[in-house]
Structure 1
Amino acid sequence: MVIRRRKSKSICWPESRNQFGSAADPKSSPVRASDADGQYKSFIENLPVLFYAVEPAPPYSPLYVSPAFEKFGYPLEDWKMDPGIWLRVIHPDDVERVFKKTTASTLSGEDVDYEYRIVDAMGLTHWVRDVGCLIRDDAGNVVCREGVIIDITDRKIAEQAVSISEERYRNLFENANDIIYVHDLDGNYLSINRAAERVFGYGREEALSMNMRQLAAPEHLTLAQLKLAKKVHDGRQTSYEMDCIAKGGKRVTVEINSCPIFQDGKPIAVQGIARDITERKKAEEALKTSEQQYRDLFENANDLIYTHDLKGVFTSLNRAGERITGYTRGEAMNMEISEVVAPEYLEFARELTRRKLDGERLASYELEIISKDGRRVMLELSTRLVYQNEKPVGVQGIGRDITSRRLAEDQLRHNARHDALTNMPNRTEFMEHLEAAVMRSKIDPDYKFGVLFLDLDRFKVVNDSLGHNIGDKLLVGIAKRINSCIRPLDSAARLGGDEFTVLLNNITGPEDATMVAARLQKKLAAPFIFGHYEVFTSASIGIIVSDDISREAEDFLRDADTAMYGAKQTGKARCEVFDRDIHIANTDFLKLDLRHPVDRHEAR
């Protein structure tokens, strides 16, 4: 394009050309040159870009600016009349750079194409792209600099957003805890992040020269290849777990989510995220082992183990529970705990559950259940609350069948208080009953009781002549006959040897006691048949009845014994009621009788 200078300090317009690019002949052209200049000027002034022409040397005073320059908030006249306007509108941080490049362009004659910022009249910053060139006259002299300015603010904002996004992606990529990788369709790694380096132990350069087959554990290689082929074929994301071998030979389990990368609709690579789940898998295996151990313990325990919800419905029962309760697991799952707990223990069991829910720590306790066949089973129970999401949802219990132990304990207690031969209460048991009667008589003046002391006649003869076996049978037979002669509220005991006692409760006086004694004498007089032997026996009976005189239990037993000896002195099969006056007289006589040997130093 040939440029000619129109006049000093005026814009240099291109000379009019015809459609073939040659200069138009003013004489032959139907459109005059001045008209072409006007059309050209009108064309550029209506474009959204900014056109300018400035002096070729600093301060680059404007020769022409298009009306679009007013978008920066400065009137067009300011651009035309203010020679230093460029220094005011170019961002302070960009002024030096712009002027240096412009000066260098003037010296070299090269075109300029650079980006910088303009600050508008409101103080807002605009990014612009400035493309300019030097304009020369026919003699080659530089007459001005012309250019076009394009507002690229939106592009810059977009680029910054992309840059920020890319930086965020890079940070995410590099700082992610999970492995992020890209490999081509053959499995050759194209990129990995730092997590991959950390987990597998390979540096980035090492990894980028490796194939996925080199990482996959041998037994999982086929799986990896199948998954790769599937995702490439289907174009979908795949998720799976596989074991990899790290640099030092360590086995690493990863959970992989990967998908193909497409270009022009065709898969070109695979991008994936892999999470190291080695520790999680170990924990899962440990949990499985623990659960299996718990199941084994649960099923094979000798103790009953069960759970029930807060409504009392069974939710689990082990084999020992089936054996102890008699109910199958299926039957128990449709039952409430109230259906197996013995009625007298039911409220106790409910109260314990309420206390547990209130946070009270309870020790083990005993509770009786009724099995399917009606058998009573005593359990020693230890229970705890079962929680879900930190809320109690049920109760777990472990119950030990202590029925046999309890029976043994009861038997021991029974044996400690009963005669082994006759199963009658022994002296200890009898004295407790007698002490209770004495205590009651002291509180209730209308209450009377009596004590009978029996000693068998000729029992030693039976033992010596017929043997201890017959003697023992005789004692058992006598015990049965004594029990048959008394009421349920009375009690009888064997003190030892051939001595028995009877406690008669709620009697009116000595007459009631002597009546029972007579009944006993009659009952004992009947012969006892032991095989070929017919054995006859009788008993001497001493009687004492409570009265206004204060005595203790031992006193009553002693006085009944005294009365029994009095009866023996009068013959066999006799009974005698204790008489205090006679007892005192006999005691005084005994004391007198003993005094003479003492005086003669004959006592031993």
Structure 2
Amino acid sequence: MDHKKASFSISLLVITVLFIIAGYFFVSFETKKIENELHNTLMHATEVLLAALNPERVERFEGSLADLNSPDYIRVKDQTSKLGKIFVENSVASFYIMRKTNKGVVFLVDSIVPGSEDYSPPGELYIKPSAEIFSVFDDGVPKLVGPYTDEYGTFVSYFAPIRNFSSNKIIGVVGTDIDYNAYVASVRKEQISNFLTLFVIYLFFVGIIFFFEKRSEAQKMLRENEERLRVITETTPDAVIMMDEKGIISFWNQAAETLTGYTREEAISKNLHELISPQGLYDIENSKNLHEFMATGKSPILNTIVTIKIKTKEGKEKDVELSTNSLRMKKRWYAIGALRDVSQKKENEDKLKEKTDELEKLNKFMINREQKMIELKAEIEKLKGGKGEIVE
């Protein structure tokens, strides 16, 4: 048992270490995958807005509150607002367009609803722009930035230049933000989901190991019990036979071979009563006792000792004492019988009965003779009138 516990502990330790290692790489891989998906979402959303924008409209912006009534501003504002509603399900917080001026970077259009806390009206100065924004204005290369913190919060952003089609001049920069807290929440949500998935798989494998350990232990105990049973049944002088509710033999020990002359291979799967019952003497298959046993496992001969005759392989008949009991396995009834050869005992009993009968007859004869002698003496006495001597 200690060996089994040690084996289970080692198996559990190995699978735990393997799952920790696999879990680390799996969660890291999935985390990187989610990060890449969010980054791709940022870039895709920005590219969609750039494809929808008319650079000439952006170039005509004054960069002040006067733009609010401009048809160009209204058109671009409508485009950014609609895209914001579309991509909000992908964690995109906002779209905005910026211009670089002598004062710094100012907002031209913001997709956020006017009046909201983070809304930036046209011409508002960006107080804490990241260095990458200036880099995009200078070299025109899109940048993925973050996490970084400005006066509006902490974000992961993607910045891309807006160019004039004819001059290729950079006239503005489009910014697309994902709120970093939402970004972290998305990543952690996936991490927790992946961890729970791994934990369930881990429990599944632990359960499998536990199941096979218990199964192995149960099989070992079963083999030990079977070996004990085999030793007991093979060393007992009585023939031990087991049959199902239809009379089919499923167990046949060595003593049964000796008693009947049939080997185990010859007897197993055969009908017991057809094999060893004398013709017409013990046809149990057609009796109501068998039908009752099939249904309930009960029979008048169970838990009793009866003397019956059996037929051996050589065709000889033997007298045996039969004691039976019932056993239910896998929703089926089985009868277990122990048979003991009492042929010699029966022969001795028959001889004893014969001698006893002879002795009883002789005894009756002697008693009758004695009675006859007494009656004869009485008659002689009567004839003599009670005088004289009677010589026997």
Q: TM-score under structure 1 normalisation? A: 0.34
Structure whose CA Rg is larger? 1
Bigger fraction of residues in helix: 2
Query: Which of 1 and 2 has higher RCO (CA within 8 Å, sep 6+)?
Result: 2
Q: TM-score under structure 2 normalisation? A: 0.49
